[in-house]
Amino acid sequence: MSFFPMTGTVIKNLFSRPATRLYPFVKREPFALTRGHVAIEFSQCILCGICAKRCPTHAIAVDREKKEWQIDHLACVICGNCAIVCPKKCLSIKETASNAVTSGAKADETETHANA
> Does residue number 36 form part of the binding site for ligand SF4 (CB under 6 A)?
no
Shortest spacing between CB 54 and ligand SF4, in angstroms: 6
55: burial class by Cβ within 10 Å (0-12, 13-18, 19+)?
Answer: buried
User: Which amino acid is present at 68?
Assistant: E
User: With contact defined as beta carbons under 8 Å apart, do 66 and 72 qualify?
Assistant: no
Q: Among 49, 68, 109, 113, which residue interacts with ligand SF4 (rule: CB under 6 A)? A: 49
> Does residue number 37 form part of the binding site for ligand SF4 (CB under 6 A)?
no
Q: Compute the 3-state secondary structure of the chain and give helix, strand, coil in percent, each to the nearest 5.
A: 20, 20, 60
Q: Among 48, 68, 94, 110, which residue interacts with ligand SF4 (rule: CB under 6 A)? A: 48
Which residues inside 76-105 make contact with ligand SF4, applying CB under 6 A?
A: 76-82, 86-88, 90-91
Q: Work out the angle at residue 74's Cα, subtended by the Cα atoms of residues 72 and 77, and round it to the nearest 5 degrees.
A: 100
Which residues sit at the interface with ligand SF4, rule CB under 6 A?
Answer: 38, 40, 45-51, 55-57, 59-60, 62, 69, 71, 76-82, 86-88, 90-91
